[in-house]
Amino acid sequence: MPSLRERLPRAAWVRPDNLHVTLKFAGRRPEALVPELTDALRAAAAGVEPFDLVLEGVGAFPSLERPRVLWLGARDQGAAHASVLARRVDAACAQFDVPKESRAFRAHVTLARVRDARERPVDGPTPSDLSLVSRRLTSSWTVPVGEIALMRSDLERTGSRYTVLARCALGEPRHG
């Protein structure tokens, strides 16, 4: 069976150095807010101890039948810790007029974005292909999570370029 990448030639695959879990997308914010936002994120991160995130299982949003985003999911306690962290980050960002999330958080790493479903080649992946990949992928990866980062994302022709604006350690008492 051809690889998923071969079956989705028009998908925009995330570069390995850009793989990440997004806890919250805050949109454009004035650079002057970075110090205050960093303080709020530090307080949010301090309330969650470091944890391991286990990644396994391919899925798709909105569904395997109509994939727009292919992802690698998180499971078990790590996923629960990530959800708690995401709620804390959501609350911290709300102080800066960032709308609260209406959907439940689902920890995942985006692997690819399927551009326009109508443009997919006729021999593109079928839902059964994606289900098969999801069932056959038995590998898992354990990623230690000890910090969150405030990132700036700049969209370029070659994809997103991320810049770390601040790092906030998990489980550390807040200083200052």
Residues annotated as part of the active site = 20, 108
- Element (H or E) spanning 58, and its range? strand 51-62
How far apart CA 110 and CA 21 sit, in angstroms, is: 8
How far apart CA 21 and CA 109 sit, in angstroms, is: 5
DSSP line for 108-174 = EEEEEE---GGGS-TTS--HHHHHHHHHH----EEEEE-EEEEEEEEEETTEEEEEEEEEEETTPPP
